[in-house]
Amino acid sequence: MPVMAPAPSPQAIWQTSLIGGALSPGCGGDLAGPWRLLLLGDGSPTRHLEALTGLPLEIELIAMGLQQPGDGAMPPPEVEELAEPLIRRQVWLRCGPDTLAWAESWWNHDQAQEHLQRRDQPIWRSLTSNRAELFREVDGLARVEAPWLAQRFGREGPFWSRHYRFFRGGQPLTVIREVFSPDLERWLGPAVVL
């Protein structure tokens, strides 16, 4: 599939910072347990999606290139910690016929060249292929919308989203935003406890 221009970042209709990883009631605090683990845990979503579906995760590259002014990116504030020039990458995450997530990431150009040589591979696999240690810190939780997300997921938003950083050697390596399809309720149950 040809690589296209990047989509604008989804619009956040609600968001919160996760200082200390805690959520107060009314600020996403009503998330059901399985969704809390997916959104707030520091585990690999690649592995989680594969474990849930029993199918290998496939990456569909949408766009990857230098961050350009006016390209619709609304990066999390943590992106400012990365040295410029920045590469922005967007992908769909699929297991079999199901598109279960969308993700965008920001990288320093040189770090992207080093760590993203196989662009069809999930970031987690690229970063851990040589068994190098990583630390993931979840920084924010949001509910987002975008017409192109609704079209691909086949459901209206808003959608649950999170963003986090990978660190290596105490230094930020990349910032990643993920948006999850409501179809995950098939395996996780309803996202919100009523």
Per the prediction, the chain carries an average pLDDT of 84
Q: Could you tell me the pLDDT band of residue 1, with boundaries at 50, 70 and 90?
A: very low
Report how far residue 172's alpha carbon sits from residue 179's, in angstroms, rounded to the nearest whole number: 21
Q: In the predicted model, is pLDDT for residue 6 greater than 50?
A: yes
Beta-bridged to residue 90, according to DSSP, are 63, 104
Question: DSSP letter at 125?
Answer: H
pLDDT at 161: 96
pLDDT at 164: 92
The token pair at 96 is: 């079999």
Q: In the predicted model, is pLDDT for residue 169 greater than 60?
A: yes
Q: In the predicted model, is pLDDT for residue 54 greater than 70?
A: yes
Report how far residue 81's alpha carbon sits from residue 5's, in angstroms, rounded to the nearest whole number: 25
pLDDT at 189: 95
Peptide bond preceding 158 in cis form (omega within 30 of 0): yes
